[in-house]
Structure 1
Amino acid sequence: MMEEQSFDSLQLSQNLPLSQDSFRELWESVVAAPMFTTPTATEVNEPWRADGQMDMQLINEQVLTEGFDENLFELHPDVLPKDGVTPPSSTVPVTTDYPGEYAFQLRFQKSGTAKSVTSTFSELLNKLYCQLAKTSPIEVLVNKEPPQGAILRATAVYKKTEHVADVVRRCPHHQNEDAAEHRSHLIRVEGSQRAQYFEDVHTKRQSVTVPYEPPQLGSEMTTILLSFMCNSSCMGGMNRRPILTILTLETPEGLVLGRRCFEVRVCACPGRDRKTEEENSSKMQNGTKQTKKRKSAPAPVPDTTSVKKSKSQSSAEEEDKDVHVLHIRGSERYEMLKKINDGLELLDRESKKSKVSVKHEVPLPSSGKRLLQRGERSDSD
């Protein structure tokens, strides 16, 4: 019976319904590597000690040295970061000042508002006025030494909210005239061969960096030289849109240690424009707001008296006949005004006589002949 059949009576060679081979054949076909194999003496250069024991430390060192790949943890060349790539930046740059733990601050040279200056800074407006492609020195101050390899980065952004998403670039005209590799950058660092120009791969914003140099002996600040390669009024570029320059102190990895921001206007006469804008700002603060467009002057009111005289001479003559009484205090003043009145009366009489004589006078001919009157005939007729 099936119930009395024991498990031992089952043979492994029995064919299984769902298998092509027996279980024994399947088991024997599996090649299993030994869990641990002890290398022979010839494989490990005779690591046997004098006491007949195997030096396992020597074996491990030789096995690891021969089997370890030194390039195991190195990245593929395609994964390595390439040179010239800027650290990731935000879509909308921050324009607020941040001195940080190093008390990062900027200082500008005092140039005044003379017409001959090429660069001048207004502390009242926190605005730099400079000429096209002219050097503007900026002094950088910190209270302690930044980390090794720190850099200074200058970035230009538009000031107004409706333009802040646009990238500040040079106009096509000035780009075509420039043969430099970084000719599309508005801000350029002068006097340094270590300046690097970057363009963010995501936001396309452009910036220029220069290594931070500690102050020289006897000085407390470091000076960098910036120049702006387009006018604020250039069509196709800034196009009269105000811009801000963000100057940051960063670590080599791109960590911001300090930030300063100021407005820039690139124009032909920095001193004149600074003086004008400071005066307008002072007037607005004092309450006397100056309008940009002047209102047209009202048309002059026509003189009604002259119109009346031209329309009606008779009415004017009737008004002249009116007599007015004037009360005068003092005999001397009365005599003086009386003489004036008598003179005016005399002039009126003389003018009337001249008008009457002009009307009745008949011009005589130059040849001596008498002019014919109406209704007369000449002797020849």
Structure 2
Amino acid sequence: MEEQGLENEELTPSLPLSQISFPDLWANVVMPSISSIPGPVDDMDMLLMQDELDLNCLFELPPETVTKDGVIPPVSTVPVTTDYPGEYGFQLRFQKSGAAKSVTSTFSELLNKLYCQLAKTSPVEVLVSKEPPQGAFLRATAVYKKTEHVADVVRRCPHHQNEDTAEHRSHLIRLGGSQRAQYFEDLHTKRQSVTVPYEPPQLGSEMTTILLSFMCNSSCMGGMNRRQILTILTLETPEGLVLGRRCFEVRVCACPGRDRKTDEESSTKTQSGPKQTKKRKTNPVPHTTTMKKSRSASSAEEEDKEVFHLPIVGRGRYEMFKKINEGLELLDREKTKNKVPVKQELPVPSTGKRLLQRGEQSDSD
């Protein structure tokens, strides 16, 4: 009996917790001391601060989508491409450089289209009728022109993008001449844009000039791939409200002057249309085939009775031919009515003597 009780005492600690009696389980529970429990006010503040930090980390936006002033610039899903001068009279003006082959940038007023070379600066003059609010900025965005491509994002081709070492190397549009230019990419649409703060015109000038550069050719494979693009330039407030909008087409090519001249000539021909020559209305001439036949008396009579239709232009000419035809018909009727051979007068000899007819005798006889 004693050995059996010892065996039970040795086996009891090895039993699983589910088989231990409640008094033994309660005795093993370690109760913390009251002094170790944190104060209600301080710990509650700590918990709230920790929760706030966790929420901030959860909803924190990437640094490239937030400006230095903490403003998130909005980018619409389908950008509007219609011009809107707004109450500030927002306008753009381009320098007149002509269509020579040596120019690096030229603008066509006829086509509202900018022609420029790769990575060459194109000056754009910004004019407003009154001073915009403090903190206003200019934004440049590139979109495809045709409706079947408008949902695609305009990016650089992989070749030019890999050769560039800049942080914003995927952006097609660059703003030069300003250290305050910022590059953005929308989280939802993935559209890219570049902004620069609006600066009032300098003393003695009425416009502000910005320098745009396009870092890919329009024919680059994997990029624009010969698709037409539009550049949208907007004037916005620090809160993202659009004050004015201007839109123009862009073609990045090796010879801007030549391409501009070609496109303007083609547009002029299309608008004027093909030259139309006025043709006089004439009655259709019946198609007749002639066959060589032996000339005989019967066939000659049949040919004389054949009727022909002659188209005549002009009333006066028609009346003249009508009179000639009536005269010929009258002559034919007279010949048919008389049917008398006309006597031929014999020629008079040069000596003055009349030639004798057959059966006549001379006067001397």
TM-score of the aligned structures, taking structure 2 as reference length = 0.58
> Is 1:250 matched up with 2:205?
no
Matched residue, 2:107: 121
Instruction: Determine which of 189, 206, 220 is the counterpart of 1:203.
Output: 189
User: Equivalent residue of 1:173, what SS?
Assistant: helix
User: Equivalent residue of 1:224, what SS?
Assistant: strand
Counterpart of 2:168, as a letter, is H
Matched residue, 1:240: 226
Mapped to 2, the partners of 1:89 and 1:182 lie a distance apart of 18
Per-residue CA shift, 1:262-311, capped at 9, x if unaligned?
0000000000000000000000111039xxxxxxxxxxxxxxxxxxxxxx
Mapped to 2, the partners of 1:177 and 1:273 lie a distance apart of 27
Instruction: Determine which of 36, 60, 64 is the counterpart of 1:84.
Output: 64
Instruction: Determine which of 129, 134, 143 is the counterpart of 2:120.
Output: 134
User: Equivalent residue of 1:207, what SS?
Assistant: strand
Counterpart of 2:193, as a letter, is S
Counterpart of 1:182, as a letter, is H
Number of aligned positions between the proteins: 221
| Residue 214 (structure 1) shift | 0.4
User: Equivalent residue of 1:154, what SS?
Assistant: strand
Per-residue CA shift, 1:145-198, capped at 9, x if unaligned?
111111100000000000000000000000011000100000001111100000
Structure 1 stretches of at least 4 aligned residues deviating more than 4 Å after TM superposition: 79-83
Instruction: Determine which of 216, 220, 241 is the counterpart of 1:230.
Output: 216
Matched residue, 1:280: 266
Instruction: Determine which of 148, 153, 156 is the counterpart of 2:139.
Output: 153
| Residue 252 (structure 1) shift | 1.1
Matched residue, 1:97: 83
- Identical-residue share of aligned pairs (%): 85
Alignment of 1:6-85 (within 5 A): 77-78=56-57, 83-85=63-65
C-alpha spacing 1:235/1:82, structure 2 compared with 1 (3 Å): closer
| Residue 217 (structure 1) shift | 0.5
C-alpha spacing 1:82/1:172, structure 2 compared with 1 (3 Å): closer
Instruction: Determine which of 87, 110, 117 is the counterpart of 2:96.
Output: 110
Per-residue CA shift, 1:312-340, capped at 9, x if unaligned?
xxxxxxxxxxxxxxxxxxxxxxxxxxxxx
Counterpart of 1:158, as a letter, is Y
Counterpart of 2:64, as a letter, is G
Counterpart of 2:118, as a letter, is L
Q: Which stretch shifts more, 239-248 or 249-258?
A: 249-258
Mapped to 1, the partners of 2:149 and 2:123 lie a distance apart of 28
| Residue 90 (structure 1) shift | 1.9
Which structure 2 residue ranges, 5 or more long, are not aligned? 1-44, 66-71, 276-365
Matched residue, 1:47: none
Counterpart of 1:275, as a letter, is K
Alignment of 1:271-350 (within 5 A): 271-288=257-274
| Residue 87 (structure 1) shift | 2.9
C-alpha spacing 1:149/1:81, structure 2 compared with 1 (3 Å): farther
Matched residue, 2:172: 186
| Residue 88 (structure 1) shift | 3.1
What RMSD, in angstroms, separates the aligned Cα atoms of the two structures?
2.1
Mapped to 2, the partners of 1:223 and 1:231 lie a distance apart of 24
Mapped to 1, the partners of 2:61 and 2:190 lie a distance apart of 18
User: Equivalent residue of 1:201, what SS?
Assistant: coil
Mapped to 2, the partners of 1:241 and 1:131 lie a distance apart of 16
| Residue 91 (structure 1) shift | 1.2
Matched residue, 2:204: 218
Mapped to 2, the partners of 1:213 and 1:197 lie a distance apart of 18
Mapped to 1, the partners of 2:252 and 2:62 lie a distance apart of 35
